[in-house]
Amino acid sequence: MGDRIEPFTVEVSQDELDGLRVRLQNARWPDEAPGDGWTRGVPLARLRGLAEHWQSGYDWRAQEDRLNAFPQFTTRIDGQRIHFLHVRSPRPDAKPLLITHGYPSSVAEFLHLIDLLTEPEPPDGQAFHVIAPSLPGYAFSTPLSGPGWAMGRTAAAWVELMRRLGYERYGLHGGDVGAGVSGTVAGLDGARVIGVHVVTDPLTAANVATFMPGMADRLDAADPVDKAILDRMDAFRREGSGYLAIQNSRPQTIGYGLVDSPLLLLAWIAEKVHEWTDLPVDDDQLLTNVSLYWFTRCGMTTAHTLYEQAHSTDWGPPASVPQGFAVFGADETVRRIIPAPAGTHWSEFPRGKHFPAMEAPAELAADLRTFFGPLT
């Protein structure tokens, strides 16, 4: 295949759609769990409502058309099929921007963001040519070619992708896994990268701190800010890390259920969207993301990539390009965890959390324009 880039169109067969509806119609439902609200997982009423909408109200064909309104392509890099959106701005001053999603997400996360970047308001704002790949093992970047697809290898594939597209200078943006990949690309390809912009929130920062060697020892429980960080880290270990522990240790086992059961897949993703958001996410956008996982059977392969990252030591060289941080749901804890050097772009937003491209796309787009506008 060489460097060949081929056009791609999302085309889910009617048999696949009918099969999903039959599975949802014949789902076996448990009794409501004891306890209140979300304390033990997704409440029965919430999941029933989502499943019923997925079965009879949600219009996949309309969402398929929405995805196909963006030019899409595939190419093969390092033996792996890579799917990506490549949406060029009509503006002659547009800058290339490579945006990377995280877990449990997909390019559907960016449906409300892309137009704001390619054709910005106000019209004199910085515009972008948007390149949005599906991470290896996610959605249409499947099947997974084999082991080893942690962030370092993915970042090297992104460098090659931008070379194939002919971009000499480009910016980077990401959140969650996408933030790590973006930072690694900046370290690998600093001569071409103009800057890297990432999003975070207090919960995500505390979760990352849980895995940072010695972080807990550097915090003083007598300090109110440090205590808030320690409490979040402890809560994540006790209450929020089960999904990650399973995938980091037994991805194959949980993968059978994620590929075979639409209810498990829906609950698995809907729980994280609920826990990691502060502003409402449209149910149709949530279901488009879940549908991409379902139709491509990528629940298992995404779990395997999380396993690979948990067992990887390949973080690549540090980045030396301009860096920007956008903190959603901001409080004083994030600055303590991420001691950004002087001159770093730092924006704080009171609302939103882990998925600002879905929760607050206008605010995120504006911050991207502010950060990348003066960079060349």
**Does the residue 185 lie in any domain?**
yes
Q: Is it true that the peptide bond before 104 is cis, omega within 30 degrees of 0?
A: yes
Is 78 considered catalytic here? no
Per-residue model confidence (pLDDT) at position 283: 98
**Does the residue 14 lie in any domain?**
no
Per-residue model confidence (pLDDT) at position 60: 98
**Does the residue 159 lie in any domain?**
yes
Per-residue model confidence (pLDDT) at position 1: 54
Q: Which residues pair with 348 in a beta bridge?
A: 327
Is 307 considered catalytic here? yes
Q: 112, 115, 307, 345: which is the annotated catalytic residue?
A: 307
Alpha helices for 197-261 (secondary structure H): 202-210, 224-235, 242-249, 251-260
| Residue 151 structural domain | 65-201+241-372
> Tell me, what amino acid is at 209?
A
**Does the residue 175 lie in any domain?**
yes
**Does the residue 251 lie in any domain?**
yes
Instruction: Give yes or no for a contact between 134 and 297, defined as CB atoms under 8 angstroms apart.
Output: no
Per-residue model confidence (pLDDT) at position 355: 97
Give me the average pLDDT of each 10-residue run along the chain (376 residues): 91 98 97 85 96 98 98 98 98 97 98 97 92 98 96 97 98 97 96 98 91 85 94 92 95 98 98 96 98 98 97 85 97 91 92 97 98 97
Q: 101, 304, 345, 354: which is the annotated catalytic residue?
A: 354
DSSP 320: -
Is 18 considered catalytic here? no
**Does the residue 317 lie in any domain?**
yes
Instruction: Give yes or no for a contact between 301 and 106, defined as CB atoms under 8 angstroms apart.
Output: no
The three-class DSSP label of residue 322 is coil
Question: How many domains does the chain divide into?
Answer: 1
Q: 176, 189, 201, 367: which is the annotated catalytic residue?
A: 176
pTM, whole model, 2 decimals? Answer: 0.96
Q: How far apart are CA 357 and CA 334, in angstroms?
A: 19
**Does the residue 22 lie in any domain?**
no
| CATH number of the domain where residue 183 is located | 3.40.50.1820
